[in-house]
């Protein structure tokens, strides 16, 4: 088993803070499963901030055109799922 990263709760808290700071007027109590992209809640500038946050967590740059953002990142929970799926490989040390 590889190294353990931040807990899911910590990732959700960090991401919620980022989204709330970048989206004035957003209800602070929105659910982790609430639609962010399809509903139009996230503006493009916030989406860029989220992308940078994801890249920091998984340890590599991403091509946002390589996957369906709405399918993969439409909620806080979905974004954290993405980080958990893609971050595990980035955390493993290389052999020799």
- Spatial distance between the Cα atoms of 29 and 88, rounded to a whole number of angstroms: 29
- Show me where the domains of the chain are located: 8-90
Q: How confident is the model at residue 95 (pLDDT cuts 50, 70, 90)?
A: very low
Say whether 76 sits in a helix, a strand or coil.
helix
Sequence-distant (6+) residues with CB within 8 A of 63 are: none
The mean pLDDT value for 7-23 works out to 95
User: What pLDDT, on the 0 to 100 scale, is given for residue 93?
Assistant: 39
User: What pLDDT, on the 0 to 100 scale, is given for residue 3?
Assistant: 52
- Spatial distance between the Cα atoms of 91 and 48, rounded to a whole number of angstroms: 23
- Per residue in 23-38, pLDDT tens? 888 888 999 999 999 9
Given its phi and psi angles, is residue 27 left (phi above 0), alpha (psi -120 to 50 degrees) or beta? Answer: beta
- Spatial distance between the Cα atoms of 9 and 13, rounded to a whole number of angstroms: 6
- Spatial distance between the Cα atoms of 42 and 33, rounded to a whole number of angstroms: 14
pTM of the predicted protein model:
0.84
* Residue 61 CA, distance from chain mean position: 13
- Per residue in 48-84, pLDDT tens? 999 999 999 999 998 989 999 999 999 999 999 999 9
CATH of span 8-90:
1.10.1200
């Amino acid at each position: 088993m590889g190294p353990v990263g931040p807990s899911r709760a910590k990732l959700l808290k960090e991401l919620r803070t980022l989204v709330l700071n970048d989206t004035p007027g957003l209800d602070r109590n929105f659910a982790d499963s609430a639609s962010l992209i399809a509903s139009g809640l996230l503006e493009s500038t916030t989406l860029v901030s989220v992308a940078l946050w994801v890249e920091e967590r998984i340890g590599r740059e991403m091509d946002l055109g390589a996957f369906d953002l709405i399918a993969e990142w439409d909620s806080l929970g979905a974004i954290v799922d993405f980080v958990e799926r893609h971050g595990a490989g980035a955390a493993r040390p290389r052999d020799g």
